[in-house]
Amino acid sequence: MPAGLTRAQARLWWQKWAWYERNARPLHRARIHYELARRESFARWPIHGEVLEMLREDRLQLGPQVQFEPNVWLTGPPPARIVIGGGTFLNMGVMVAAVNLVEIGRHCMFANGAFVTDGNHRFDDPEKPVPWQGFTTKGPTRIGDNVWCGANVVVTSGVTIGERSVIGANSVVTTDIPPFSIAAGAPARVIKTITYAEHPSGGLPSDAPVGG
């Protein structure tokens, strides 16, 4: 049986707890809510990742009325940026991970468990443990306005999804998706183009709000 907890072990455990659970600490939590309120956005608790740091450094940029459901995870070490347009909704367990830049447009919806990233985890060094190898990126990942991603969708590095597209549940997006597309599969493929017969100019009546 292992011996009792040493002082060094206890210190290390406390340091890790203080870092990984910092968002749950009352003052840190209050600061996150304050920064979100300044941007007219809202999170149902808990929210994970470097949220406060990114907000204060203007690396997490939010439009008004962005909504985060519980267990959303937003992460990006400096100088990574995440940009989320107004009115966008991230449901439970959605994760956005940036190495350089992830952009999400206005009025998008992400169902439970979706994952959006511009990064790829390295595994090419046979001498170094995989978790220590860091990340590469193929370029920014961009999602246009009014995109709907179903449950457990994965959007990979360097991909652009055009406006008003729908990505089916459990799909893995590895290449660009044109605007007004319905795509599904792993890898995702366009299976239908969205058309608006009554509004051939783009599907919006003339009095509709932009991005609405």
202 in a structural domain: no
Q: What is the dihedral of CA 58, 152, 130, 98, to 10 degrees?
A: -10
pTM: 0.88
85 in a structural domain: yes
Cβ proximity of 74 and 50 under 8 Å:
yes
Task: Please name the residue that has the structure tokens 């169902």.
Answer: 111
83 in a structural domain: yes
Range of the domain at 43: 7-193
205 in a structural domain: no
165 in a structural domain: yes
- Identify the pLDDT of residue 200: 52
200 in a structural domain: no
Residues that are catalytic: 121
Q: Give percent of the chain with pLDDT exceeding 90.
A: 88
Count of domains in the chain? Answer: 1
* CATH number for the domain that contains residue 72: 2.160.10.10
- Is it the case that residue 6 has pLDDT exceeding 90? yes
- Is it the case that residue 103 has pLDDT exceeding 80? yes
> Tell me: the pLDDT tens digits for 54-76?
999 999 999 999 999 999 999 99
- Identify the pLDDT of residue 27: 95
82 in a structural domain: yes
211 in a structural domain: no
**Using 50, 70 and 90 to split pLDDT, how confident is the model at 3?**
confident
